[in-house]
A and B are shown apart, each in its own frame.
Chain A
């Protein structure tokens, strides 16, 4: 397989704005080309769109609006991990030699239809994500004797980190008490435990080794990819206190990159809800089972941004189709020492964890300088 790296990226602020999906796609694409004037649009071989929006033919639409005539043009949808699925597709086109340069653009509106998986009737009338999140939280707390206060630290930490991210939906900080006293959605979930759907876009260009070396002064390489889908239905999860698909995807990505979890300096973790962060940290091997909240607490108390530096989904907002791409951009920025006030201490290896539908499916990427 050929080597694949990141050439450039662009991102929009995440907001509650009422914008057309085509406009959101174009805005982050425009940012990308403004940030990287050396990229010739004629050399873009493929344009891949990541969204749950129901509008059709979005890749040809974006291509036309951005003055690109790609060979390959199509949309990729996989609920909340559409973004990294699209990056994996871009990687595959390049690694196989079918393309040398691929634009991946992700976008979502605040009212995305991807929030509810209508097909999953085993959830009965409890199809909204707050119900699976409540079951995860209850099960995780029971299994490891974890308190609501310990879980609330995830939200406190990630809102604090999002405050340093100019594109984040939230620019407020909260205390543990604020989280615990926020609106009670269920016995096991408060409003501030949740990531919020929003409007936002993120675009990235991946390229072959030759293109990356030619166009990027600060190359970042995609060295590991792992993916696993266990099921589509939430109730098929074997455990509600761990993430099997994330565990398997993480192992595969690390193996491909020839790295151990100890080598990962900085990571984006799919904290759709507070409980997801410690669960994912444990399933990926960053911490022992049941000890993820200890790690979160220590990171928060030492002001260490190495997990979810951009503020996670909870602080940044969750425009489904853009999330995995925004996570990947953050890790690229971290590795390039270009993350402003969020910069972690000279990271060499980073990881992206992006999942969908109650961790029924996960994608993990390893990125290196």
Chain B
């Protein structure tokens, strides 16, 4: 299954290269470091908030996973820089990825 297939099921996986073992981000079936094949790691990954702002009542933040992957995600509680968070919800809606962290 591809990253997007998993994401459609609401699962956030980490793409990792079979050969060089590096994380490949943004997700791709081919490693950007060595062009090796990429597999997906399942898990309950913890990320860290590195920046945030707010539109109306909705906070949005940049979350970093494994010191490599960064995504922009919604968050309900007031974010704090450096705070550890996990994916609460994710998927694809109208072609766009969406992420919510807690």
Contact = CB atoms under 8 A, between A and B. Distances in A.
Nearest to B63: A235
Contacts of B26: 120-122, 233
Nearest to A235: B70
Contacts of B97: 121-122, 124-125
B51 A121 contact: no
A53 to B, nearest CB: 21
Contacts of A286: none
A126 B55 CA distance: 10
Interface string B21-55: 00001110000000000000000000000011111
B96 A185 contact: no
A137 B52 CA distance: 10
Given A121-B96, A122-B72, A124-B72, A186 B55 contact: yes
Interface stretch (A65-73, A127-135, A153-161, A242-250): A127-135
Given A138-B52, A138-B53, A139-B51, A122 B71 contact: yes
A244 B23 CA distance: 23
A142 B62 CA distance: 15
Nearest to B96: A125
Interface in B48-81: 51-55, 60, 62, 69-74, 81
A236 to B, nearest CB: 7
B49 to A, nearest CB: 12
Contacts of B25: 122
B96 to A, nearest CB: 5
A185 B54 CA distance: 9
Contacts of B96: 121, 124-125, 127
Contacts of B70: 122, 235-236
A126 B52 CA distance: 12
Interface residues of A, number: 25
B13 to A, nearest CB: 14
B51 A126 contact: no
Contacts of A187: 53-55
B93 to A, nearest CB: 7
A126 B54 contact: no
A123 interface: yes
Contacts of A273: none
Question: Could you say which of A123, A124, A134 has the most chain B C-beta atoms within 10 Å of its C-beta?
Answer: A124
A62 B27 CA distance: 39
B70 to A, nearest CB: 4
Given A235-B70, A235-B72, A135 B51 contact: yes
Contact of A124 (B52, B55, B71, B81): B71
B51 A124 contact: no
Contacts of A188: 53
A125 B95 CA distance: 10
Contacts of A142: 81
B98 A135 contact: no
B60 to A, nearest CB: 5
A9 interface: no
Question: Could you say which of A122, A127, A139 has the most chain B C-beta atoms within 10 Å of its C-beta?
Answer: A122
18 contacts: A121-B26, A122-B26, A122-B69, A122-B71, A124-B73, A124-B98, A124-B99, A125-B74, A125-B96, A125-B98, A126-B60, A138-B53, A142-B81, A185-B55, A187-B54, A187-B55, A188-B53, A236-B70
Given A137-B53, A189-B53, 4 more contacts: A131-B60, A134-B55, A187-B55, A236-B70
